[in-house]
Structure 1
Amino acid sequence: MLTVANVIPKPTLFDEQAVQKVRRELKLDPQHLRRLRTVLLKHRGQDEAALAELPEGAREPFAQHIALHSLSLHKRCDSQQDGATKLLFRTCTGLLIESVILRIASGRTTLCVSSQVGCAAACDFCATGKMGVAQNLTAEEILDQVVQANQLLAAEDRRIRNLVFMGMGEPFHNEQQLYHTLDLLTSAEYFNHSPRRVLVSTVGIPDAMVRFAYKFPKVNLALSLHSARQDTRERIIPLAKKYSLEQLRDALMERQKIQGTESTVMIEYLMLASLNDSPDDAAALIAWLDGLRAHVNLIPCNPIDDAPHLTGSDRETIEHFSGLLKQARLTTTIRYSLGADVAAACGQLVQEKNREIVKQLKVIQA
């Protein structure tokens, strides 16, 4: 039986009220805390180096009351094929989440973070949605994925350049914690990360997409579209039955008005054989995107055990589909998935153990 469910986690460095309370009790100069945050969050320093910014007598008492991390690193899996690393983290309740470091050949480093444990969107092609678990992560848990990944990368003289919310979860199902995360991530007092190097991916929740545009006009948005035909989209994305293609397009047009001429939406399109990869499907997509500033990202399908009925399009079909979009003057790329050999590629993030952990937690809480 899990006992961690009864543990109340310590406040973290992102809990400003708790940090200031401890600062007053220890009579710390605010400058000491600023330097600690700078070392840990901006310079990718190890915990010991960050705590060393405090007076010697205050380090241990501070660490007793304020946690530098809200997650524990459970396992690291490095791809033997490419520059991907999957990080498996454990939350204070024992649940497991995954983040993926992508070392792009150009030298840029991207981190794919999770915003939830599991996902209620339950898309047919996604292993995360098949878990039967959907619990929100706190902003501290989302941000700690960034902190620990950067600490790991510091040894390679790398740092996270781009941050994408494409891991476990539908970010707009955890809207308030997403916003708190982005506030801290882009704050000069914390990470000072450029909002233009952040991408939030959604399966499509129109009202939230518009709210997001108003609140974070410089943060990029990706829409997991996968079909511009309503009936086809409903077959693979349950939320499509609630939010129509017309509603999604209206939300993107509203976002475009809010964000101005610099606004470009990333359209994610998973290529599925005999389902959404025909010339007629390409024509439907071209028509749907008319008037929108978009970048279409065609994604080869990564197989998952829970969806044996879905097959990825072959390379020739993907290339032909891409050619049709380019002829229509749509900016189009074909994504090269990293980390497939460690189940870290798009749609493959899943932790079967979470199902059993959740059952145990329910027993404890009862």
Structure 2
Amino acid sequence: MLARMSADSRYGFYEFFCGGGMARLGLGRRWRCDFANDIDPDKLAAYRANFGDDDLRPGDVAGVAPDELPGFADLAWASFPCQDLSLAGPRSGLKGARSGVFYSFWRLIEALQAEGRAPRLIGLENVPGLLTCSGGDDFTALCAALDEGGYRFGALEIDARWFTPQSRPRLFVIALRKDIPIPADLALDDAPGHLSPFHTGAVQRAARRLPEPLKKNWVWWALPVPPRPNETLIHKIEAPRAVPWHSPEETRRLVEMMNAPSRARLREARKAEGPVAGALYRRMRVENGVKVQRAEARFDGLAGCLRTPGGGSSRQFVVWVRNGRVRTRPMTAREYARLMGLPEDYKLPARESAALHLSGDGVSVDVVAFLRENLFEPVLDHARACALAAE
């Protein structure tokens, strides 16, 4: 079992839609999990296998009662479902059956507020499509809920590629109770005059669309730009002899399915002196009015954004090129886990599809750790220092 929180853990949190506990891992050993909830049996089994079930409450979040949330939390984290918000989905937004469970989570926060124990911080994670779904109305509705609940808020679009070799942009809405001061160096006075790594054009446009009363509670969180990671995809995949590969015929079929840009990238990879690791997805594209399946490959050192294995086109493949020879195979569940920042001793579900789903549907451990180090802990430590100074 993974290491528990240290005995002197000073921060407490609730983790909603906890999945396999990736936010918990990102928060680290100084943070104490007081409550965790999910509905998926496979994810719950993985959570128990890695952390035990002392703090775990299985089931639909709509069935959780406020008195099941113990004590007082510094942070309530919610990686709520993205299916109705994703650009690849139906875009039914927060009115959809899946993404709409945000309101079941928010009902609990409102109940805690009424009891005088609202969490100091709220961390919401979802796809960037939340910014534009329903013409931006869903994002406005979410910000309005935070405002009415007594929080100031701001959004950051953070790509996991800053920390691990996976292209995985995600939106993080971070809200702080209005009665808690913000350290001067953690918030910009105004919108950045240029596009920053985390205040992307989509974030800035969404902020500008908000009604004036909500804009007054918007926070431009100021985070440092991290150094680029040294590791690339080739450092995260298994040694070539450790895993089975496609037959030459299967590889040939994938190569024949490649679109023109992918074939050009493959030609360049074949010219390399050393081994090159690439990533490939099969996708349905419309060409001349007809749907065709294409294989799209990249050789920039990154994996594509991991997905849940809902169908054949959502499984990612490894493309290995050495001395002009091309081999392909499905990416393994352990490789998925590494790209999400899960440690090697993390116990994945035994069933491969469940293990792939756990990673593809999770939050990057490294991004949560980045937020913890550069935002959550500085804000909370500053609040405690101010409270002590006022005594």
**Normalised by the shorter chain, which TM-score bucket?**
0.3 to 0.5
Which has more helix, going by share of residues? Answer: 1
